[in-house]
C-alpha cells in the first residue's frame, strides 16, 4: 500500500482526512549477534520498509486504533494504562503511557497503522510500531525530545508495558538509522558510529524461515545465564563485568578457568563475535566487501556450533546460500531458532539465489521461505 492508498483507507475508516503521516523502518542486524548483553558491539541498519502511521485529531478524550494489518479496531482512554490490553494496541499504548507519565496529553486522536515488515520474523516490527508512535507523539505534543530519548521511551514501553525483555538495539536502529549506513552500537553506553556501506553491484537479501517461534525465549534466557557463569569463572582469575571486554587472545589466556565445556563455547562465541564486528567495521571502511562476507559466514558458523541458536531452517538457508556463485556471505540474524537470514550477494545473482535456495529449503524443511531485497533506509521521521 502506498501513502495515497493509506490516506483513502484512513478516510474510509474515520470519515475524515488524515492530518499527518509518520514512518519508522524495520531493522536487520548485519553482524554482532548475542553480543549486546555481553557488553559488545552490534551492527544493525534500518530497512527501507517499515510502519506507517496516519493520524487526525478528535474532539473527545479517546484514541481510536486501526491497523491495515489487523482485523480488529480498538478504542481506548486513559484507563487503558491500568487495564493492559492484550491485543496489538499494547505497543502504542505502552509508548503513550511513557509520554503521559512525562506530563504530555496523549488522548484525542484517530490512528491508522500499516506495516510492510513481517511480524515476528525478527525484523523488529514491534520496535517499528513503538518508535513511529513515539515520533508522532513527540510531534503532536510538541515536547521536542531528541531521537535517542524517543528510542529509550520505546524500549521502556516494550520492557515494562508489553513485557518483553529486549535490549535497545532494535529501537535504536529504527530511530537512528541512516540510508546506506550501518550503525556500530555499544548497547551499554549508547556510543555509536555510522559506517558507510558501499554496496555498488551488491544487495542484501533477507530470507524469512517462516518457522514459528517456539523455544526462542527460554533459550535466550539460558544463553544469558551461561554467559553470566562464564563471567563469574573468568573473574576468579581476571575480574571482568562483560565477556566482550576480552580480546580473543585474552580469552585464550583466561578461558581455562571455565570448567563447563558448554559454557566455554558460549563465551567463545561472544568474545569472537565482538572481535568480528570490529573487523567488519574495518573491512567496510576499507571497502572490502569480500572480507565482510567471510566474517558473516564465520559468524553463522559460531552461532551454529558454539552458541547453538540456529536449527535446520536457518542453517539450510545460510549454508546453501554460502555455496552459490555471487554470494559473499550469509548468516542468521536476530536471536535465532527461527526468524531470518541476511545474505550479501551480487545483484545479478539475486534471482537465482532466491529460486535455488528457496527450492532446497522447501525440499528439506517443507516450509516456504520468503525473500526480501533490502535497501538500507533512513530512521524514523515525519513524512507530512
Cell of 41: 558491539
Binding site annotation covers 34?
Answer: yes
Binding site residues, Mg ion, CB under 5 A: 126
Contact 342, 330 (CB under 8 A): yes
Binding site annotation covers 122?
Answer: yes
CB of 124 to ligand ADP, least distance (A): 5
CB of 244 to ligand ADP, least distance (A): 24
Output 126 or 333, the one with its CB closest to Mg ion.
126
CB of 226 to ligand ADP, least distance (A): 23
Residue 115 interaction partner, one of Mg ion, ligand ADP, none, beta carbon < 5-8 Å per kind: ligand ADP
Output 124 or 299, the one with its CB closest to Mg ion.
124
Binding site annotation covers 235?
Answer: no
In the sheet with 340-346, reading across from the earlier edge strand, the strands are 327-333, 340-346, 202-208, 370-374
Quickly count helices (H) and strands (E) in the chain.
12, 13
Distance of CA 5 to the CA centre of its chain: 27
CB of 274 to ligand ADP, least distance (A): 23
Identify the helix (H) or strand (E) that includes residue 36. none
For residue 208, the cross-strand partners are 340, 370
Binding site annotation covers 67?
Answer: yes
Q: Is 170 a catalytic residue?
A: yes
Residue 113 interaction partner, one of ligand ADP, Mg ion, none, beta carbon < 5-8 Å per kind: ligand ADP
Binding site residues, ligand ADP, CB under 6 A: 51, 67, 69-70, 88, 91, 113-115, 119-126, 129
Contact 233, 263 (CB under 8 A): yes
Output 166 or 240, the one with its CB closest to Mg ion.
166
Question: For the chain, how far is it from start to end, CA to CA, in angstroms?
Answer: 17
Contact 202, 353 (CB under 8 A): no
Q: How many degrees, rounded to 5, is the angle at CA 253 between CA 250 and CA 256?
A: 130
CB of 238 to ligand ADP, least distance (A): 37
Residue 91 interaction partner, one of ligand ADP, Mg ion, none, beta carbon < 5-8 Å per kind: ligand ADP
Output 169 or 258, the one with its CB closest to Mg ion.
169
Cell of 205: 537479501
170, 260, 306, 375: which one is catalytic? 170
> CA quadruple 88, 92, 98, 103: dihedral positive or negative?
negative
CA distance linking residue 114 with residue 75, whole number of Å: 17
Binding site annotation covers 126?
Answer: yes
Active-site positions read: 170
Could you tell me which residues are annotated as the binding site for substrate? 33-36, 220
Which residue ranges make up the annotated binding site for ATP?
67, 120-126
Amino acid at each position: 500500500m502506498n501513502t495515497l492508498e493509506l490516506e483513502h483507507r484512513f478516510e474510509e475508516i474515520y470519515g475524515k482526512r488524515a492530518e499527518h503521516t509518520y514512518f519508522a523502518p524495520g531493522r536487520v542486524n548485519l553482524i554482532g549477534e548475542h553480543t549486546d548483553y555481553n557488553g559488545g558491539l552490534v551492527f544493525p541498519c534500518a530497512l527501507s520498509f517499515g510502519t506507517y502511521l496516519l493520524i487526525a485529531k478528535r474532539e473527545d478524550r479517546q484514541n481510536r486504533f486501526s491497523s491495515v494489518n489487523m482485523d480488529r479496531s480498538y478504542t481506548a482512554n486513559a484507563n487503558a494504562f491500568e487495564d493492559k490490553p492484550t491485543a496489538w494496541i499494547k505497543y502504542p499504548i505502552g509508548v503513550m503511557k511513557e509520554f503521559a507519565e512525562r506530563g504530555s496529553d496523549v488522548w484525542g486522536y484517530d490512528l491508522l497503522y500499516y506495516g510492510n515488515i513481517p511480524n515476528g520474523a525478527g525484523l523488529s516490527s514491534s520496535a517499528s510500531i513503538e518508535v513511529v508512535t513515539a515520533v508522532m507523539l513527540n510531534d503532536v505534543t510538541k515536547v521536542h525530545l531528541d531521537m535517542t530519548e524517543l528510542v529509550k521511551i520505546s524500549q521502556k514501553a516494550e520492557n515494562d508495558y508489553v513485557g518483553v525483555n529486549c535490549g535497545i538495539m532494535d529501537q535504536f536502529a529504527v530511530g537512528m538509522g541512516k540510508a546506506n549506513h550501518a550503525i556500530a552500537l555499544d548497547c551499554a553506553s549508547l556510543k555509536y558510529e555510522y559506517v558507510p556501506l558501499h554496496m555498488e553491484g551488491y544487495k542484501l537479501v533477507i530470507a524469512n524461515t517462516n518457522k514459528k517461534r517456539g523455544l526462542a525465549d527460554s533459550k535466550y534466557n539460558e544463553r544469558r545465564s551461561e554467559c553470566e557463569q562464564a563471567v563469574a569463572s573468568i573473574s576468579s582469575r581476571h575480574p571482568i563485568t562483560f565477556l566482550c571486554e576480552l580480546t580473543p587472545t585474552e580469552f585464550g589466556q583466561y578461558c581455562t578457568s571455565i570448567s563447563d565445556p558448554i559454557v566455554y563455547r558460549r563465551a567463545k562465541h561472544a568474545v569472537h563475535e565482538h572481535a568480528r564486528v570490529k573487523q567488519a567495521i574495518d573491512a567496510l571502511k576499507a571497502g572490502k566487501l569480500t572480507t565482510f562476507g567471510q566474517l558473516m559466514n564465520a559468524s553463522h558458523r559460531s552461532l551454529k556450533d558454539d552458541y547453538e541458536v540456529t536449527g535446520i531452517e536457518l542453517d539450510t538457508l545460510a549454508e546453501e546460500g554460502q555455496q552459490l556463485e555471487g554470494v559473499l556471505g550469509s548468516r542468521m540474524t536476530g536471536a535465532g531458532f527461527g526468524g531470518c537470514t541476511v545474505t550479501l550477494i551480487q545483484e545479478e545473482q539475486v534471482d537465482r539465489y532466491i529460486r535455488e535456495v528457496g527450492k532446497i529449503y522447501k525440499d528439506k524443511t517443507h516450509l516456504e521461505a520468503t525473500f526480501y531485497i533490502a535497501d538500507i533506509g533512513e530512521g524514523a521521521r515525519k513524512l507530512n
